[in-house]
Amino acid sequence: MDEMLITPEVAASFTDGPVLATECKVVVANAVAHILRAVGEDPQREGLRDTPSRVARMYDEILAGYAVDPVALLNNALFDVDYPEMVIVGDIDFWSMCEHHLLPIFGKAHVGYIPRDKVVGLSKIPRVVDTFARRLQVQERMTRQIAELLQELANPLGVGVVIRATHLCMSMRGTQKANAHMRTTYLTGAFLTHPETRAEFLGSIGATTRD
C-alpha cells in the first residue's frame, strides 16, 4: 500500500481544504487508486484517471461538518424574543455518510422547539443539521446531537427532532430494500413530558400519518 499510484502532477494539484490538508488528500487519492486496481480496474485508463483526485476533493466537501463548530454557530444566532409558542423548521433536506459502509444517507429533518426566552435565527437550524450531517454518521446519533445542542444552548422548554432517511447501505447492498426508510425521533422537555405537545409537533410535520 506504500506504492504511490497517483502521479506527481495529481499530488501537486491539491490544496488544503476545510477538512483535508494537502497531504491527506494525497493519501485518500492514492487509496482510491489502490481500490480501483484491487477490483480489477486500471486507474490510469481515461475514464478513471481523474477519479482518485475527484474522490479526495469530494470527501473534503461532503465531510465539511468536521470543520464547523456547532456551538459557535448557534451561539451567534440567539435572540431575545418574547414568543411562547412552538417553532418548527421542517423538511430540511440533508445528505450524510454512513460510518459503517461509507455510503450515503439522505432524507429530511424536522426540528421544533418552544422558546423560553430566546429564539434561534431561522437559517441556523438547517445549518446545524448540515453540520452534523456532513460527518460520518449513524442516524440515531445525528438526531440526538441536533436536539441536545439546541436544548443546551437555546435553553427552550423543549426540543423535538424527527429525521426520516434512506440508507444506501440497506438499499443497494445487504437486504437491498430500495423503498425502506428509517425514522428516528429525539424529544426533550415538554415534547417528552406533555403528550399534547408531542402530538402537536408530530402532527404539524405529518409524522403521524405519512410514516
- Selection from 174, 103, 107 nearest residue 143 by Cα: 107
Instruction: Name the pairing type of β-strands 87-98 and 136-137.
Output: parallel
Query: How far is the C-alpha of 27 from the C-alpha of 33, rounded, in Å?
Result: 10
The conformational region for residue 108 under phi > 0 = left, psi -120 to 50 = alpha, else beta, is beta
On whether the CB atoms of residues 122 and 108 are closer than 8 A, the answer is: no
Query: How far is the C-alpha of 199 from the C-alpha of 85, rounded, in Å?
Result: 14
Give me the active site residues, please.
98-101, 139, 167, 169
Query: How far is the C-alpha of 5 from the C-alpha of 32, rounded, in Å?
Result: 9
The pair phi, psi for residue 163, each rounded to 5°, is -125, 130
Query: How far is the C-alpha of 79 from the C-alpha of 149, rounded, in Å?
Result: 16
